[in-house]
Amino acid sequence: MDAGVSILAGSASARLGAAVCELAGIPPLAHESRRFPDGEQQAELAESVRGRDVFVIQATSPPVDVHLIELLMLADACRRAGAGRLTGILPYLGYARQDRRAGRRSLGGRVAADVIATAAFDRIVIIDAHTAAIEGFFSVPIEHLTAVPLLAGAAAPVLPQRAVVVAPDLGAVKLAREYARLLHLPMAIVHKTRLDGETVEAKTVIGDVAGRAPLIVDDMVSTGSTIEAAAGALRAAGAVDPVTVAVTHALLIGRAAELVPTLGLARIVASDSVEHDGHAPLPITTVSLAPLVAGAVRRLHNEESLSDARYPA
């Protein structure tokens, strides 16, 4: 890749950033992110970026606020060091689920977008955000990428012949259609009602799942409540094992460690948008986003269209 490109990976995306640099054939931008005893953060670059095309890779994954501030500090360091152009690549975008206001609640998605805009990025790249409408919150140009083709390709070898793609709620229908198209499988939908932040109720399954092994697809799995409700509804409707889950973002937070192993899932197929240091609650087939991100970096640097960037090149 052109010598005028620099790639800087924050702590939330260190392994992904290293893999992107390896594919791009350039060393990662040397830097230090430090935390002071009072909790404040600071970022310092160890080399010049003056006039360079800089890409900052940092998921705003849990702990969201810590990683969000680190993203801002890294961007500020690059700007103050004279970066010619600055692009933020956010493999996972925190606060994206807070995309609509109810009652007297805050609108977290808009607040996060406004905060990120203060970093003066020239553009932001996001991967399978919870809703594409989140773009409307940003004053910075947004580029959308999807990991669905990579995840579908990884899931295909482990699916039995009589499989069915399942959207666990109405919000995942568009995503499920794309999986079904890529895998040449029928599709079904679970009608879900969220009772609170960790409790979900599913009653109705739309589509024929009897005697079929479900591939439940979503943009993320958080506490596992949605998967729990969907799996129960599918089995009640006659679906059979193995039950597989494919998600871009495997947060696996809260009660997920206790809940997910009890659901009788064969596996979760997920990207590395969210990096985990501990042990996963069940076998996870991890699909690297590095080819997708490296392809996008090359195209953006060369001012090429991203229309084909969903496929590694």
Whether residue 118 is found in the same domain as residue 142: yes
| Residue located via tokens 């360091």 | 77
- Decide if 250 is inside a domain: yes
Residues spanned by the domain of 202: 148-287
Taken in order 114, 119, 123, 129, the sign of the CA dihedral is negative
- Decide if 36 is inside a domain: yes
**Strands 213-221 and 163-167, sheet pairing:** parallel
Query: Catalytic: which of 110, 192, 249, 310?
Result: 192
As a whole number of angstroms, the distance between CA 259 and CA 65 comes to 26
- Decide if 161 is inside a domain: yes
Q: Residue 185 is part of a domain; what is its CATH number?
A: 3.40.50.2020
CB-neighbour burial class of residue 91 (10 A; exposed 0-12, middle 13-18, buried 19+): buried
Residue 78: CA count within 13 A, CB half-sphere: 32
Whether residue 70 is found in the same domain as residue 172: no
Q: According to the model, what pLDDT value does residue 277 have?
A: 76
DSSP 35-47: E-TTS-EEEEESS
Per the structure, the count of domains in the chain is 2
Question: Among 165, 158, 155, 152, which Cα is nearest to 207's?
Answer: 165
CB-neighbour burial class of residue 41 (10 A; exposed 0-12, middle 13-18, buried 19+): middle
- Decide if 306 is inside a domain: no
- Decide if 312 is inside a domain: no
Whether residue 97 is found in the same domain as residue 204: no
- Decide if 311 is inside a domain: no
How is residue 102 written in tokens? 């109810």
- Residue by residue, pLDDT tens for the chain (313 residues) are 677 999 999 999 999 999 999 999 999 999 999 999 999 999 999 999 999 999 999 999 999 999 999 999 999 999 999 999 999 999 999 999 998 888 899 999 999 999 999 999 999 999 999 888 889 999 999 999 999 999 999 999 999 999 999 999 988 999 999 999 999 999 999 986 665 555 666 678 999 999 999 999 999 999 999 999 999 999 999 999 999 999 999 999 988 888 999 999 999 999 999 998 766 656 789 999 999 999 999 999 999 988 754 444 4
Cis peptide before 242 (omega within 30 of 0): yes
Whether residue 296 is found in the same domain as residue 165: no
* Residue 174 annotated in active site: no
DSSP 83: B
CA distances from 2 to 122, 223, 309, 311 (A): 19, 42, 18, 21
Beta bridge partners of residue 200, listed in sequence order? 194
Taken in order 120, 122, 126, 129, the sign of the CA dihedral is positive
Residue 262: CA count within 13 A, CB half-sphere: 11
Whether residue 160 is found in the same domain as residue 225: yes
Whether residue 179 is found in the same domain as residue 127: no
CA-atom Rg of the chain in angstroms: 20
> What predicted TM-score, i.e. pTM, was given to this entire model?
0.92
